[in-house]
Amino acid sequence: PISATKQALDTEPQYIDAPLSVAAAFLVLAIKDDDASLATARSVLGSTDDLIKSITVRDISHTFTCNVGIAHRVWHPLTGRPLPKELRPFKEIKGAKHTAVSTPGDLLYHIRAPSMDLVVEFEKILLEAFGDAAVPLDDVAGFRYFDGRDLLEFVDGTANPDGLALPAATIVGEEDPDYAGGSYVVIQKYLHDLAAWRALKVETQEQIIGRTKHGNTELPDAPAPDQKSHKTLCTITDAQGEHDILRDNMPFATPGRGEYGTYFIGYSRYLWVIEKMLEHMFIGDPPPLHDRVLDFSKAMTGVVFFAPARPLLADLGD
Ligand code: HEM
Protein backbone atom coordinates (compact mmCIF):
# COMPACT_ATOMS: atom_id res chain seq x y z
CA PRO A 1 0.00 0.00 0.00
CA ILE A 2 2.85 2.43 0.76
CA SER A 3 4.35 1.91 -2.72
CA ALA A 4 0.91 2.34 -4.28
CA THR A 5 0.55 5.64 -2.46
CA LYS A 6 4.01 6.72 -3.57
CA GLN A 7 3.20 5.88 -7.17
CA ALA A 8 -0.01 7.91 -6.95
CA LEU A 9 1.96 10.86 -5.55
CA ASP A 10 4.59 10.60 -8.32
CA THR A 11 1.94 10.88 -11.00
CA GLU A 12 -0.43 13.35 -9.33
CA PRO A 13 -1.87 15.49 -12.14
CA GLN A 14 -2.25 19.24 -11.99
CA TYR A 15 -5.79 20.63 -11.58
CA ILE A 16 -6.98 19.26 -14.93
CA ASP A 17 -10.36 18.19 -13.54
CA ALA A 18 -11.27 21.55 -11.93
CA PRO A 19 -14.71 22.73 -13.07
CA LEU A 20 -15.41 25.80 -15.19
CA SER A 21 -15.24 28.91 -13.07
CA VAL A 22 -16.71 32.40 -13.01
CA ALA A 23 -13.37 33.96 -13.95
CA ALA A 24 -10.35 32.64 -15.81
CA ALA A 25 -7.19 33.79 -17.52
CA PHE A 26 -5.05 32.33 -20.26
CA LEU A 27 -1.52 33.70 -19.99
CA VAL A 28 1.01 32.72 -22.67
CA LEU A 29 4.67 33.56 -22.04
CA ALA A 30 7.88 33.41 -24.04
CA ILE A 31 10.99 32.48 -22.07
CA LYS A 32 14.30 34.13 -22.95
CA ASP A 33 17.01 31.70 -24.07
CA ASP A 34 19.95 32.81 -21.90
CA ASP A 35 21.04 30.61 -18.98
CA ALA A 36 19.99 33.07 -16.28
CA SER A 37 16.46 33.39 -17.70
CA LEU A 38 16.10 29.61 -18.00
CA ALA A 39 17.27 29.20 -14.40
CA THR A 40 14.71 31.76 -13.23
CA ALA A 41 11.98 30.03 -15.22
CA ARG A 42 12.90 26.65 -13.67
CA SER A 43 12.76 28.10 -10.21
CA VAL A 44 9.37 29.78 -10.81
CA LEU A 45 7.96 26.56 -12.30
CA GLY A 46 9.33 24.65 -9.31
CA SER A 47 7.46 26.94 -6.94
CA THR A 48 4.11 26.65 -8.75
CA ASP A 49 2.51 24.89 -5.77
CA ASP A 50 3.60 27.61 -3.35
CA LEU A 51 2.40 30.38 -5.65
CA ILE A 52 -0.99 28.70 -5.92
CA LYS A 53 -1.20 28.21 -2.15
CA SER A 54 -0.48 31.88 -1.52
CA ILE A 55 -3.73 32.65 -3.37
CA THR A 56 -5.85 29.64 -2.38
CA VAL A 57 -5.41 30.28 1.32
CA ARG A 58 -7.01 33.71 0.87
CA ASP A 59 -9.96 32.25 -1.10
CA ILE A 60 -12.62 31.02 1.31
CA SER A 61 -14.17 28.85 -1.44
CA HIS A 62 -10.82 27.13 -2.11
CA THR A 63 -11.64 26.88 -5.80
CA PHE A 64 -8.68 28.81 -7.21
CA THR A 65 -6.61 26.61 -9.53
CA CYS A 66 -3.82 27.03 -12.02
CA ASN A 67 -2.36 24.62 -14.58
CA VAL A 68 1.02 25.15 -16.20
CA GLY A 69 1.86 23.89 -19.68
CA ILE A 70 5.33 23.73 -21.23
CA ALA A 71 5.76 23.89 -25.02
CA HIS A 72 8.03 21.83 -27.28
CA ARG A 73 10.60 24.61 -27.86
CA VAL A 74 11.57 24.94 -24.20
CA TRP A 75 10.83 21.42 -22.95
CA HIS A 76 14.45 20.22 -23.03
CA PRO A 77 16.12 23.51 -22.00
CA LEU A 78 13.80 23.75 -18.98
CA THR A 79 13.47 20.13 -17.89
CA GLY A 80 16.62 18.45 -19.25
CA ARG A 81 14.40 15.46 -20.05
CA PRO A 82 13.42 13.79 -23.33
CA LEU A 83 10.17 14.94 -24.92
CA PRO A 84 6.85 13.43 -23.89
CA LYS A 85 5.84 11.04 -26.69
CA GLU A 86 3.50 13.34 -28.58
CA LEU A 87 4.84 16.78 -27.62
CA ARG A 88 5.39 18.69 -30.86
CA PRO A 89 4.65 22.21 -32.08
CA PHE A 90 1.12 23.13 -33.15
CA LYS A 91 0.84 22.05 -36.78
CA GLU A 92 -0.71 24.75 -38.98
CA ILE A 93 -3.78 23.37 -40.77
CA LYS A 94 -4.66 25.11 -44.01
CA GLY A 95 -8.15 24.34 -45.27
CA ALA A 96 -9.57 25.61 -48.55
CA LYS A 97 -11.18 28.54 -46.72
CA HIS A 98 -9.86 28.73 -43.14
CA THR A 99 -6.47 28.26 -41.48
CA ALA A 100 -5.64 27.03 -37.98
CA VAL A 101 -2.61 29.23 -37.39
CA SER A 102 0.40 28.16 -35.33
CA THR A 103 1.74 30.92 -33.08
CA PRO A 104 4.60 31.31 -30.55
CA GLY A 105 4.30 30.44 -26.85
CA ASP A 106 6.63 28.67 -24.39
CA LEU A 107 4.55 28.50 -21.20
CA LEU A 108 0.81 28.53 -20.61
CA TYR A 109 -0.82 29.47 -17.31
CA HIS A 110 -4.49 28.44 -17.27
CA ILE A 111 -5.98 30.12 -14.24
CA ARG A 112 -9.48 29.52 -12.89
CA ALA A 113 -11.00 31.41 -9.98
CA PRO A 114 -14.27 32.40 -8.33
CA SER A 115 -13.49 36.08 -8.92
CA MET A 116 -11.20 38.21 -11.05
CA ASP A 117 -9.27 39.75 -8.14
CA LEU A 118 -7.66 36.37 -7.40
CA VAL A 119 -6.70 35.95 -11.05
CA VAL A 120 -5.07 39.36 -11.22
CA GLU A 121 -3.28 38.90 -7.90
CA PHE A 122 -1.85 35.56 -9.03
CA GLU A 123 -0.70 36.92 -12.40
CA LYS A 124 0.91 39.91 -10.70
CA ILE A 125 2.90 37.72 -8.27
CA LEU A 126 3.80 35.28 -11.04
CA LEU A 127 5.09 37.93 -13.47
CA GLU A 128 7.08 39.59 -10.68
CA ALA A 129 8.71 36.23 -9.99
CA PHE A 130 9.67 35.79 -13.66
CA GLY A 131 10.99 39.36 -13.90
CA ASP A 132 12.87 39.85 -17.19
CA ALA A 133 13.10 36.11 -17.84
CA ALA A 134 9.65 35.95 -19.43
CA VAL A 135 7.88 38.08 -22.01
CA PRO A 136 4.06 37.91 -21.98
CA LEU A 137 2.76 37.19 -25.51
CA ASP A 138 -0.95 37.05 -24.76
CA ASP A 139 -3.15 37.45 -21.69
CA VAL A 140 -6.88 36.86 -22.08
CA ALA A 141 -9.41 37.21 -19.28
CA GLY A 142 -12.40 34.89 -19.67
CA PHE A 143 -15.74 35.31 -17.95
CA ARG A 144 -18.76 33.14 -17.38
CA TYR A 145 -21.66 34.06 -19.66
CA PHE A 146 -25.33 33.24 -19.01
CA ASP A 147 -26.01 29.50 -18.53
CA GLY A 148 -22.39 28.64 -19.30
CA ARG A 149 -22.94 29.76 -22.91
CA ASP A 150 -20.28 30.93 -25.33
CA LEU A 151 -20.73 34.24 -27.15
CA LEU A 152 -22.45 32.39 -30.02
CA GLU A 153 -25.07 31.89 -27.28
CA PHE A 154 -24.86 28.08 -27.16
CA VAL A 155 -24.21 26.16 -23.94
CA ASP A 156 -20.56 25.11 -24.23
CA GLY A 157 -18.98 22.10 -22.52
CA THR A 158 -21.93 19.72 -22.33
CA ALA A 159 -20.29 16.65 -23.88
CA ASN A 160 -17.22 16.86 -21.62
CA PRO A 161 -16.26 13.58 -19.91
CA ASP A 162 -16.95 13.29 -16.17
CA GLY A 163 -16.41 10.78 -13.37
CA LEU A 164 -13.77 8.14 -14.12
CA ALA A 165 -14.04 8.95 -17.85
CA LEU A 166 -12.43 12.34 -17.15
CA PRO A 167 -8.95 11.13 -16.11
CA ALA A 168 -9.17 8.30 -18.65
CA ALA A 169 -9.59 10.87 -21.44
CA THR A 170 -7.18 13.52 -20.19
CA ILE A 171 -4.32 11.98 -18.21
CA VAL A 172 -1.35 10.19 -19.78
CA GLY A 173 -0.97 6.62 -18.48
CA GLU A 174 1.08 3.52 -19.16
CA GLU A 175 1.57 4.45 -22.85
CA ASP A 176 4.27 6.95 -21.72
CA PRO A 177 5.26 5.89 -18.17
CA ASP A 178 7.86 8.66 -17.68
CA TYR A 179 5.13 11.25 -18.15
CA ALA A 180 2.16 9.49 -16.55
CA GLY A 181 -0.03 12.05 -14.81
CA GLY A 182 0.57 14.69 -17.49
CA SER A 183 -1.83 16.02 -20.09
CA TYR A 184 -1.54 17.57 -23.56
CA VAL A 185 -3.06 21.04 -23.77
CA VAL A 186 -4.04 22.88 -26.94
CA ILE A 187 -5.17 26.51 -27.00
CA GLN A 188 -6.71 28.63 -29.75
CA LYS A 189 -8.06 32.14 -29.40
CA TYR A 190 -11.06 32.68 -31.68
CA LEU A 191 -12.68 36.01 -32.60
CA HIS A 192 -16.33 35.92 -33.69
CA ASP A 193 -18.19 37.86 -36.36
CA LEU A 194 -21.25 38.25 -34.17
CA ALA A 195 -23.23 40.40 -36.61
CA ALA A 196 -22.98 37.72 -39.30
CA TRP A 197 -23.78 34.94 -36.80
CA ARG A 198 -26.83 36.77 -35.49
CA ALA A 199 -28.09 37.30 -39.06
CA LEU A 200 -28.56 33.50 -39.31
CA LYS A 201 -31.85 31.86 -38.38
CA VAL A 202 -31.67 30.02 -35.07
CA GLU A 203 -32.42 26.74 -36.92
CA THR A 204 -29.34 27.29 -39.11
CA GLN A 205 -27.18 28.02 -36.06
CA GLU A 206 -28.45 24.80 -34.47
CA GLN A 207 -27.55 22.79 -37.59
CA ILE A 208 -24.03 24.26 -37.49
CA ILE A 209 -23.45 23.41 -33.81
CA GLY A 210 -25.42 20.14 -33.71
CA ARG A 211 -27.48 21.05 -30.63
CA THR A 212 -30.60 23.07 -29.96
CA LYS A 213 -30.00 26.56 -28.69
CA HIS A 214 -32.57 26.90 -25.93
CA GLY A 215 -32.80 23.34 -24.62
CA ASN A 216 -29.21 22.25 -25.43
CA THR A 217 -30.35 18.85 -26.71
CA GLU A 218 -28.35 16.94 -29.29
CA LEU A 219 -29.53 16.90 -32.92
CA PRO A 220 -29.12 13.72 -34.98
CA ASP A 221 -25.95 13.47 -37.13
CA ALA A 222 -26.45 14.51 -40.75
CA PRO A 223 -26.48 11.52 -43.12
CA ALA A 224 -23.19 11.09 -45.07
CA PRO A 225 -21.96 12.76 -47.29
CA ASP A 226 -23.85 15.88 -46.13
CA GLN A 227 -22.33 18.83 -44.25
CA LYS A 228 -21.61 17.71 -40.68
CA SER A 229 -22.24 19.79 -37.57
CA HIS A 230 -19.46 20.97 -35.23
CA LYS A 231 -20.48 18.30 -32.74
CA THR A 232 -20.21 15.51 -35.32
CA LEU A 233 -16.91 16.75 -36.81
CA CYS A 234 -15.41 16.71 -33.32
CA THR A 235 -16.53 13.18 -32.50
CA ILE A 236 -13.44 11.00 -33.01
CA THR A 237 -13.83 7.23 -33.01
CA ASP A 238 -11.46 4.37 -33.77
CA ALA A 239 -11.27 0.66 -32.92
CA GLN A 240 -11.13 1.55 -29.19
CA GLY A 241 -14.36 3.56 -29.42
CA GLU A 242 -14.95 7.30 -28.96
CA HIS A 243 -12.04 9.51 -27.86
CA ASP A 244 -13.17 12.38 -25.62
CA ILE A 245 -11.22 15.46 -24.65
CA LEU A 246 -11.88 18.01 -21.90
CA ARG A 247 -12.76 21.54 -23.03
CA ASP A 248 -12.66 24.49 -20.67
CA ASN A 249 -13.60 27.16 -23.23
CA MET A 250 -14.32 30.64 -21.90
CA PRO A 251 -15.92 33.67 -23.54
CA PHE A 252 -13.89 36.88 -23.57
CA ALA A 253 -14.79 40.31 -24.88
CA THR A 254 -13.80 43.94 -25.21
CA PRO A 255 -17.03 45.45 -26.52
CA GLY A 256 -15.48 48.90 -27.00
CA ARG A 257 -13.15 47.38 -29.56
CA GLY A 258 -15.82 45.18 -31.10
CA GLU A 259 -13.97 42.06 -29.89
CA TYR A 260 -16.05 39.03 -28.92
CA GLY A 261 -14.40 35.65 -28.75
CA THR A 262 -14.10 32.11 -27.47
CA TYR A 263 -10.85 30.98 -25.91
CA PHE A 264 -10.65 27.30 -26.78
CA ILE A 265 -8.61 25.11 -24.44
CA GLY A 266 -8.58 21.34 -24.75
CA TYR A 267 -6.90 18.80 -22.45
CA SER A 268 -6.22 15.33 -23.80
CA ARG A 269 -4.35 12.16 -22.97
CA TYR A 270 -3.49 11.89 -26.68
CA LEU A 271 -2.50 14.92 -28.72
CA TRP A 272 -3.51 13.22 -31.97
CA VAL A 273 -7.16 13.28 -30.93
CA ILE A 274 -7.25 17.10 -30.81
CA GLU A 275 -5.21 17.28 -34.03
CA LYS A 276 -7.79 15.06 -35.72
CA MET A 277 -10.66 17.28 -34.52
CA LEU A 278 -8.86 20.31 -35.96
CA GLU A 279 -8.34 18.55 -39.30
CA HIS A 280 -12.03 17.72 -39.47
CA MET A 281 -12.95 21.31 -38.60
CA PHE A 282 -10.55 23.13 -40.95
CA ILE A 283 -10.15 20.72 -43.88
CA GLY A 284 -13.54 19.02 -43.60
CA ASP A 285 -14.80 15.47 -43.24
CA PRO A 286 -15.15 14.84 -46.11
CA PRO A 287 -13.15 17.76 -47.57
CA PRO A 288 -13.96 20.52 -48.42
CA LEU A 289 -16.96 20.55 -46.04
CA HIS A 290 -15.26 22.49 -43.21
CA ASP A 291 -16.91 23.29 -39.89
CA ARG A 292 -19.27 26.21 -40.54
CA VAL A 293 -18.54 27.59 -37.04
CA LEU A 294 -15.31 28.77 -38.69
CA ASP A 295 -17.22 31.03 -41.09
CA PHE A 296 -18.06 33.06 -37.98
CA SER A 297 -14.96 32.40 -35.84
CA LYS A 298 -11.38 33.21 -36.81
CA ALA A 299 -8.49 31.41 -35.10
CA MET A 300 -5.94 34.05 -34.02
CA THR A 301 -3.56 31.75 -32.12
CA GLY A 302 -2.68 28.06 -31.83
CA VAL A 303 -0.19 26.48 -29.42
CA VAL A 304 0.44 22.99 -27.99
CA PHE A 305 1.71 22.47 -24.42
CA PHE A 306 2.29 19.58 -22.04
CA ALA A 307 1.07 20.00 -18.47
CA PRO A 308 3.30 17.57 -16.53
CA ALA A 309 2.40 15.82 -13.29
CA ARG A 310 2.86 18.01 -10.21
CA PRO A 311 6.04 16.29 -8.90
CA LEU A 312 7.84 16.88 -12.22
CA LEU A 313 7.06 20.59 -11.98
CA ALA A 314 8.20 20.71 -8.35
CA ASP A 315 11.50 18.97 -9.24
CA LEU A 316 12.41 21.76 -11.66
CA GLY A 317 13.06 24.02 -8.71
CA ASP A 318 15.87 21.78 -7.32
C1 HEM B 1 -18.92 20.70 -28.79
C2 HEM B 1 -18.57 25.53 -29.28
C3 HEM B 1 -14.04 25.04 -30.97
C4 HEM B 1 -14.20 20.33 -29.83
C5 HEM B 1 -19.22 22.05 -28.83
C6 HEM B 1 -20.52 22.60 -28.50
C7 HEM B 1 -20.41 23.95 -28.63
C8 HEM B 1 -19.06 24.25 -29.05
C9 HEM B 1 -21.50 24.99 -28.37
C10 HEM B 1 -21.77 21.79 -28.13
C11 HEM B 1 -21.92 21.59 -26.66
C12 HEM B 1 -20.84 20.80 -26.01
O13 HEM B 1 -20.81 19.56 -26.07
O14 HEM B 1 -19.96 21.44 -25.44
C15 HEM B 1 -17.32 25.80 -29.80
C16 HEM B 1 -16.87 27.13 -30.19
C17 HEM B 1 -15.58 26.98 -30.66
C18 HEM B 1 -15.24 25.57 -30.57
C19 HEM B 1 -17.68 28.41 -30.06
C20 HEM B 1 -14.65 28.02 -31.20
C21 HEM B 1 -15.04 29.00 -31.97
C22 HEM B 1 -13.68 23.73 -30.81
C23 HEM B 1 -12.39 23.17 -31.13
C24 HEM B 1 -12.43 21.83 -30.80
C25 HEM B 1 -13.75 21.56 -30.28
C26 HEM B 1 -11.22 23.96 -31.72
C27 HEM B 1 -11.37 20.77 -30.90
C28 HEM B 1 -10.21 20.90 -31.48
C29 HEM B 1 -15.48 20.03 -29.44
C30 HEM B 1 -15.91 18.71 -29.01
C31 HEM B 1 -17.29 18.81 -28.73
C32 HEM B 1 -17.66 20.20 -28.98
C33 HEM B 1 -15.05 17.46 -28.85
C34 HEM B 1 -18.21 17.69 -28.22
C35 HEM B 1 -18.63 16.79 -29.34
C36 HEM B 1 -19.57 15.70 -28.82
O37 HEM B 1 -20.78 15.95 -28.71
O38 HEM B 1 -19.06 14.62 -28.51
N39 HEM B 1 -18.36 23.07 -29.16
N40 HEM B 1 -16.31 24.91 -30.03
N41 HEM B 1 -14.49 22.72 -30.31
N42 HEM B 1 -16.54 20.90 -29.41
FE43 HEM B 1 -16.45 22.89 -29.79
Predicted confidence (pLDDT) per residue in 258-270, tens digit: 999 999 999 999 9
**What is the set of active-site residues?**
156
pLDDT of 5 > 90? The answer is no
Average pLDDT over residues 36-56: 97
Stretch 200-222: mean pLDDT: 97
How many angstroms does the Cα of residue 61 sit away from the middle of ligand 1?
29
Reduced to 3 states (helix: H, G, I; strand: E, B; else coil), residue 307 is strand
The answer to whether 262 and 297 are in contact (CB under 8 A) is yes
Q: What is the pLDDT of residue 1?
A: 60
Q: Is the CB of 197 under 6 A from ligand 1?
A: no
Percentage with pLDDT > 90 across the chain: 94
Q: What was the pLDDT predicted at 168? A: 97
- For ligand 1, atom 8: residue with the closest CA: 156
Helix runs in the chain, H state only: 2-10, 35-46, 48-56, 72-79, 116-130, 165-170, 194-198, 202-209, 230-233, 271-282, 310-315
Regarding the beta carbon of 269 and ligand 1, being less than 6 Å apart is answered no
ipTM of predicted complex = 0.99
Q: Treating both helix axes as pointing N-terminal to C-terminal, what angle do 35-46 and 48-56 enclose, rounded to 10 degrees? A: 50
pLDDT digit string (tens) for 134-148?
999 999 999 999 999
What mean pLDDT is reported for the chain?
A: 96
Asked if pLDDT for residue 116 goes beyond 80, the answer is: yes
Given the CA of residue 159, which atom of ligand 1 is nearest to it? 13
CA separation, residue 283 to residues 92, 158, 230 (Å)? 11, 25, 13
User: Which of 22-36, 53-67, 88-102, 195-209 is predicted least confidently?
Assistant: 53-67
Task: Let me know the angle formed at the C-alpha of 306 by 301 and 297, rounded to the nearest 5 degrees.
Answer: 25
Out of 152, 158, 231, mutate this one to test ligand 1's pocket (max ligand atoms within 8 Å of CB): namely 231
C-alpha to C-alpha distance for 191 and 213, rounded to whole angstroms: 20
Residue 235, CB-side half-sphere exposure with 13 Å CA sphere: 14
**Atom 29 of ligand 1, nearest CA residue:** 234
Find the mean pLDDT for residues 24-39. 98
Task: Please give the pLDDT value at position 2.
Answer: 66
Q: Determine if ligand 1 sits within 6 Å of the CB of residue 232.
A: no
**Is the CB of 278 inside a 6 Å radius of any atom of ligand 1?**
yes
- pLDDT class for 20, splitting at 50, 70, 90? very high
Pocket test for ligand 1, best of 185, 247, 279 (most atoms within 8 A of CB): 247
CA 263-11-81 angle, to 5 degrees, is: 80
Residue nearest to atom 15 of ligand 1 (CA): 156
Range of the domain at 36: 2-315
Q: Provide the 8-state DSSP code for 211.
A: B
- Give the DSSP per-residue string, 149-199: B-TTSSB--TT---TTHHHHHHS--TTSGGGTT-EEEEEEEEEE-HHHHHT
- Is 309's pLDDT higher than 80? yes
| 187 ligand 1 Cβ < 6 A | no
**pLDDT over 90 at 106, yes or no:** yes
Mean pLDDT of 24-31: 98
What's the pLDDT at 3? 75
Q: Cα(48)–Cα(235) distance, rounded to whole angstroms?
A: 34
94's CB contacts (< 8 A; 6+ apart) are 100, 282
Q: Give the pLDDT of residue 318.
A: 84
Q: Considering its fold, how many domains does the chain have in total? A: 1
